[in-house]
Chain A
């Protein structure tokens, strides 16, 4: 059955967004990512204008991450305190990011900057996570994780500990300056707004490797943080660009809210290393896809311009 989308001005088979929502929601519940880096290009592939795809995806992530956060919160896997600091940074980043997009477009090289940042970020994160979790899986897991922790903390940790306003995050069992999650949250918030992604694929490794949080708490906390960042991005997109398609969002969230619940249940059955290596695999697959897109001659040399 087809439904007409009033803002995207196109018609879509409802099985497509519901199915996409289910698949991406599953990943969301499993790994604590919004899944925008997968969803936005898929929606564009199915004929949704790029600006509408990105904005509407933010809207559906609100639903998926509410569902996912709730599922993780019930089993005590959300560090609200850490989440709130990340959120404070994320909100700041969201505002900066929306302005940044305008500036980049005015400068005329927006696409180059966005694409290169995207490829580099995904590539670095994917490769690092993949190698790290592979090593952890090969050896005695507990011993290696502990060893790696102390080793890395000595290098990075000393700098982080020297920062003022140190706070204890009980749920994650860590101590950090409040500026650390705020700055990292802002960084992810900027990218979320610019690329139309929730930023989870960056937030998760940042929490695991830089904040040293336990993987299962990372997933729940990341979703909690993404939820609020996406509320802000959805509002700004709807208000300034009129690019949120309500009907498309509803179709997507029908699948993604269920998918997020299933993902959260399934994720608890997997070990931290297994989760990390799976996420790394997906991130690397997306990186390879983008590299192909950048190097192969595109079918069409013109595309819809953003905005109005």
Chain B
């Protein structure tokens, strides 16, 4: 009896245990389903698509436009960042020699810097993102300055000075830019937010892969992120010449000289026939 009772208790407890586990599993399932339903819009909400995402450089290339569009939750701000892969850049540094003559005094190395960096936002970045978030996602020049290493500089103050010169240099070459208010947003019929931006693509941007990162921002934080890619590639004769200049340098040099000599003689003959030299 005692054994039976014991066995019953064990069975009962097992039954109770299984029911509990089952219940818990059921609860978890319902909860996850609920979460899925509730979270689905959040995880698949932000979309990003870059049109003209394959830019080809031929002889008549003079830059172009890139448009980025997508859908987001309503009531979020948006930040769009377009960057090239990070690398290091060496630039000549001008300074005063002898207190009066401006000339190149050395070189500065900028590590972890993209050659191309553009940030667009619906509102001023400082107003919609906390400093920590800006740094976390390297959004804005202040965050980029923290991310970049500049050598040789004596202190943070000097770094800030040369980084700001770096930004001016890059902005002058049209490969760095930040602006707000250019992203158009409209509410669609599903009650969601459509966004769209059309931006000039500068011809100074070198061939390569570019990453478009779109951030949905709420309460000073990035709540969602989506990505798209833009590829810039030389094609045809432009590519052939650029490749030849690097890989077949001797032949390229001889070809350049040959064409110059030919042109010089050619024009001379034309002038002689035309009687221009007399």
Contacts and interface: CB of A to CB of B under 8 A. Distances in A.
Are the chains A and B members of one assembly?
yes
Contact of B63 (A3, A11, A236, A300): A11
Interface in A270-308: 293-306
Contacts of B204: 9-10, 47
Interface stretch (A126-134, A200-208, A242-250): A242-250
B102 A261 contact: no
Contacts of A2: 60, 62
Contact of A67 (B102, B203, B249, B267): B267
Contact of B252 (A3, A110, A244, A257): A244
A63 B62 contact: no
B166 A302 contact: yes
Interface residues of B, number: 62
B101 A6 contact: no
A297 B94 CA distance: 10
Interface in B67-111: 90-95, 97, 100-108
Contact of B165 (A66, A237, A262, A302): A302
B255 A246 contact: yes
A249 B241 CA distance: 13
Contacts of B105: 111
User: Which of A2, A236, A238 gathers most chain B CB within 10 Å?
Assistant: A238
Contact of A261 (B107, B246, B268): B268
Interface of B: 57-63, 90-95, 97, 100-108, 162, 165-166, 168-169, 172, 203-204, 206-207, 234, 237-239, 241-242, 245-246, 249-250, 252-257, 259-261, 263-268, 271-272, 276-277
A10 B268 contact: no
A235 B250 CA distance: 7
How extensive is the interface on chain A, given as a class?
35 or more
A231 B262 CA distance: 13
A70 B264 contact: yes
Given A11-B63, A261-B268, A302-B169, A239 B277 contact: no
B256 A234 contact: yes
Contacts of B169: 300-303
B267 A238 contact: no
A6 B263 CA distance: 20
A74 interface: yes
Nearest to A294: B101
A246 B59 contact: no
Given A111-B103, A298-B94, A305-B91, A67 B256 contact: no
Contacts of A10: 203-204
B27 to A, nearest CB: 62
A249 B256 contact: yes
21 contacts: A7-B245, A9-B207, A63-B267, A66-B268, A67-B267, A74-B277, A75-B277, A115-B103, A242-B246, A245-B245, A246-B241, A249-B260, A250-B263, A253-B260, A258-B267, A260-B267, A262-B276, A294-B102, A300-B165, A301-B165, A305-B91
A303 B242 contact: no
Contact of A231 (B252, B257, B263): B257
Contact of A74 (B107, B108, B203, B272): B272
Nearest to B240: A6
Contacts of A246: 241, 245, 252, 255-256, 259
